[in-house]
Structure 1
């Protein structure tokens, strides 16, 4: 019933996790299909084992299946053309889009896999070794830089370490300043930075595109691909970063975003974390933003990492092969 890389579904999974289970099933299936009747049959068996009353078990399954269909619809509405799955009219099959290996769909699929790297109730064979290192240090940074460009509708620079460009922070900030980011660069930097500091706790910076500086908004972003993301708001890092590296900042409006691969299911937790982080770019937001950021780069906007999109596609293909081996 299940593909080799995933465990069977359980009644403890929420609707978001059950949809993830279907999506993984389609991703790993030879024909790109996950049947909802397989999910229903598995859950029904579990419900009947846990419920003395068969009618109560049936009602519970009906509620679960309704919530699963609603969750798929939420994903369709939020992700639009970047969602790589399609539910058929009878809600019997969730199918992987035929050209799922194209750029447009890679953002969501990488987020799906990344959110199940550790502690997953579904994924038996998560990325490990070199695949995990590349995901943490390279692939998710690419997605995040593109997503911040989509959020700001303007340029985006990759600050996080390891930095592909080889630029020092001072050199990187000068490039941003010359490109209309709306600040001057403190050189030498503030005296209180750690001697070996590499990125100042900032992974991405972006700003709105204006014909004449300063930009209307300057954004600071931090990538957080692991489960400990709630404790990593970017705001305090940005404050210290500004004091040490920037001066004569002409933009009054600042934006802060934490970029995560997760589908955050609990609404109260979602609202609370948006207050703590100022804003979250999650699995429902990242793919459309990243897709827009990539289109901007192709139109000539300065978006770091856009030229590395092939690395994302290669990583995704290599992980799928490894999981099915």
Structure 2
């Protein structure tokens, strides 16, 4: 099974990475299909070359195939209607859904590609140059803002720079306050704000939807689309942001989350990072939350970036075409 943008599978890949491999194959395949039996045959050949004991080689492959099936089931369970793949009844083919360009599916596919931008053992042709710049500065910000709105079941604003709206932070916070965020705005900002400050280290703010303020919870989010995401908890940035730009905050409950495109399969590491970051929105959580945020926007709720969701689909199409060229 040879697909130009993808490297061949190896025995060193975790079952979650092997599912990523299958998903990417299906994304690039003209028939939108990845054959699990063909992958198993390839892995068996590799195992037999690495193991003198044929029986042990068979057991290695059986464990990997079982792990693949379990991982697909886990993704289906977490992602629900936003998972753009279907496993056939015989568990032999993973198929990309025909309507994969619908935003509710594109959210997952963008996360899948983004998680393999750097140091990927799978993706040979990741986004580069202008495509990568747009992914970092625009596309993942759109997904993250929608996801934070979905998490809060409320409104959300894009704080991260560059801001499409062109608002200053003070103007943006005044708009948030006018839409029930539950605080007033320091104007001018605190005296310790750096003169060239653009976003105060905050990428998204969201809050629960109430008939009148205060919201039950005020959320701060930070986007982290690169492999250095463990180094970017948002809590300290939020503390300084509040003291610099906000006052008379009516809400005692604060939520802090880091939004990442990755599938973190190491349970111990995942739990430790949730403690450090307060919470994580990963690839299993982001698409359903983003789809909820989009539906809220379509119902008239203020959710920044919702009117640019078509850019997500356009980017995905452009990247796929570039990778296959």
Class of the TM-score when normalised by the shorter of the 2 chains = over 0.9
1:107 — aligned with what? 107
TM (norm. structure 2) is 1.00
1:67 — aligned with what? 67
Cα offset for 1:104? 1.0
Q: Deviations over 1:92-122 (max 9, x none)?
A: 0000000001111010000000000000000
Cα offset for 1:10? 0.5
SS in 2 for 1:255: strand
Q: How many residues get paired?
A: 325
1:21 — aligned with what? 21
Distance 1:133 1:308 in 2: 17
Aligned positions of 1:226-265 closer than 5 A: 226-265=226-265
Cα offset for 1:41? 1.2
1:212 — aligned with what? 212
Cα offset for 1:160? 0.4
Cα offset for 1:2? 2.1
2:272 — aligned with what? 272
Q: Deviations over 1:175-203 (max 9, x none)?
A: 00010000000011011111100000000
Cα offset for 1:42? 1.1
Distance 1:216 1:2 in 2: 52
Q: Deviations over 1:2-59 (max 9, x none)?
A: 2110000011100110000000000000000000111111110111111110001001
Question: Which residues of structure 1 form unaligned runs of 5+?
Answer: none
1:319 — aligned with what? 319
2:174 — aligned with what? 174
1:281 matched to 2:304: no
SS in 2 for 1:310: helix
1:45 — aligned with what? 45
SS in 2 for 1:155: strand
Distance 2:295 2:230 in 1: 30
1:8 — aligned with what? 8
Distance 1:249 1:57 in 2: 61
Distance 1:100 1:38 in 2: 23
1:31 matched to 2:21: no
1:91 — aligned with what? 91
1:58 — aligned with what? 58
Distance 2:291 2:179 in 1: 22
SS in 2 for 1:304: coil
Distance 1:297 1:34 in 2: 35
Distance 1:319 1:96 in 2: 17
1:163 matched to 2:163: yes
Distance 2:19 2:258 in 1: 24
TM (norm. structure 1) is 1.00
Distance 2:139 2:30 in 1: 25
CA RMSD of aligned residues (A): 0.4
SS in 2 for 1:95: strand
